[in-house]
Amino acid sequence: MSDAQQPTDDGGPGDDDFEPIQVFPEAGEMDLRPGADNCYKCSTCDTNCPVAEVDDEFPGPKFQGPEQWRLKRQDDHDIDDSVMKCSNCMRCDSACPSEVPLSQMHNTARAEYVEENMSKLSREYWRNRMLANYRRLAPLGSMFPRTTNFVMGLSATQWLGEKLLGITGEREFPEFATETFREWWTKRGGAQVQNPDKRIAYFHGCYANYNPPEVAKALVRVYEHFGYEIMVPDQHCSGTPMFANGMLEDARRSAETNVRELAWALEDGADIIASCSSCSMSLRQEYPELFDFEGTEDVAANTWDAVEYLRVHEDLEAELEGTSVGDEFDDFAYHAPCHARNQGLDGQTVEVLEAIDGIDAHDVGDSCSGISGTYGWKEENYETSMKIGAEMFEHMEDADAKAGLTECPTCSMQMEHGTGYEITHTLEVLEAALVGPAAEADGQ
């Protein structure tokens, strides 16, 4: 693994601030009451919560976190059902000046609520379980992708999804790739660069594998351009949608596999790279907050965002100097995902792209996109999700750009849904600048 250290001056996961409190005296039991004592009720977290801003009935992070855990000092206190309205955007974590472990409290509270108070026969439970376990359904959809895409694109399917499952019919389901990233990776013969001194293990996550795999292919081409040997370990879902839906045991099973596989890659000298900001957030922050498998801390300390890693380990901006990407691909409205902000990465994309000739990347501000993974896919959250996203939509339209740009797959869905813009990922822009069309020509 690399000797370089992750930046630590941004409150990001390179800090050792996330002291894992003894959350699992025994499996399934958690005690975050001591963390509540750090709260001095300033309400900064509440004023930074995008759900509380548009939904008067949502009591906000201060209640979901410290107040609820204080109440739990009385043993008979049940977790309030409003915890299911928290989108897990984690903005309150960044906002709190007192390092109260808010999202850790929310994740544990949601898990307790689902375990003890949500009927396992309810539509909400099964809908949430399906959304949280996309990775289990995606291989089925990907077996016959054209048929799946046709069926999922029918308005009757969307109507049924809303009536039977409570999945909003307002959104179009993302299409499955006709060839997954992992199929493409195997077909090309895996890594084309062998270099034991520069090795990365790519955590691609579910979306970049089963849905359009262009982001994953772009990562491979960009990293090979810099001479990296790429490993693609076996992996499960990062757990992000499971945390957000209170499915902590599902998340635990996925995390155990991921930590084991990624820890082996670390032993082979690789650093761990993610292209999705929620996946890197999960590996870096949520795993050590919630789990204590052997290797969890090492995996967290050696996980990087794909662009962040190149900025630290290569002279990315110098490599981009003098490159260009053509007229079709040069004017972007950029949205920094909340989970990228939480890792201190919100400014990097615009700074990096300034090095490419002719590129104009407009930062559309610090508002939340509103979709927050599975949150905005739920029928009862759709309107709230769109109200939260309204500021971002407006700023995107004011930017008068040709396309949208972000690093989160579901923010990308919301940006496209709210504006009609085509959305791309920063790695695709880097690929166009550094590698260009030659990649397709050589069959890679």
Q: Which residues bind ligand SF4 (CB under 6 A)?
A: 39-45, 49, 51, 61-62, 64-66, 86-92, 95-96, 98, 100, 102-103, 106
Question: How far apart are CB 89 and ligand SF4 at their closest, in Å?
Answer: 4
CB of 14 to ligand SF4, least distance (A): 21
Judge whether 287 and 256 are in contact, CB under 8 Å. Answer: no
**Nearer Cβ to ligand SF4 (92/316):** 92
**What's the rounded Cα separation, in Å, for the pair 307 and 407?**
10
What is the 3 state secondary structure string of 260-311?
HHHHHHHHCCEEEEECCHHHHHHHHHHHHHHCCCCCHHHHHHCEEEHHHHHH
- d(CA 118, CA 111) in angstroms, rounded, equals 10
Report the nearest approach of ligand SF4 to the CB of residue 109 (Å): 10
CB of 392 to ligand SF4, least distance (A): 15
Distance, CA of 107 to CA of 378 (rounded, Å): 18
**Based on CB atoms, which residue is closest to ligand SF4, 45 or 435?**
45
As measured in angstroms, the least distance from the Cβ of 285 to ligand SF4 is: 12
Place of tokens 């509380």: 52
CB of 273 to ligand SF4, least distance (A): 25
Residue 267's CB is within 10 A of a number of other CB atoms, namely: 11
CB of 368 to ligand SF4, least distance (A): 8
Between 98 and 324, name the residue whose CB sits nearer to ligand SF4: 98
Which of 373, 353, 372 lies closest to 430, judged by CA?
Answer: 353
- In the bound state with ligand SF4, the residue whose beta carbon lies nearer, of 86 and 266, is 86
Least CB distance to ligand SF4 at residue 63 (A): 9
- The residue among 360 and 383 lying less far from ligand SF4, judged by its C-beta, is 383
Token pair in block for residue 36: 């509540």
Instruction: Compare residues 105 and 356 and give the one whose CB is closer to ligand SF4.
Output: 105
Query: Which residue number, 93 or 308, has a Cβ lying nearer to ligand SF4?
Result: 93
Nearer Cβ to ligand SF4 (89/200):
89
Question: Residue 332: what are its φ and ψ, rounded to 5°?
Answer: -120, 150
**What token pair was written down for 427?**
């790695």
Rounded Cα–Cα distance for residues 52 and 60 (Å): 5
d(CA 46, CA 60): 5
C-alpha 405/C-alpha 363 separation (Å) is 9
Q: How far lies 332's CA from each of 158, 345, 426, in Å? A: 31, 18, 10
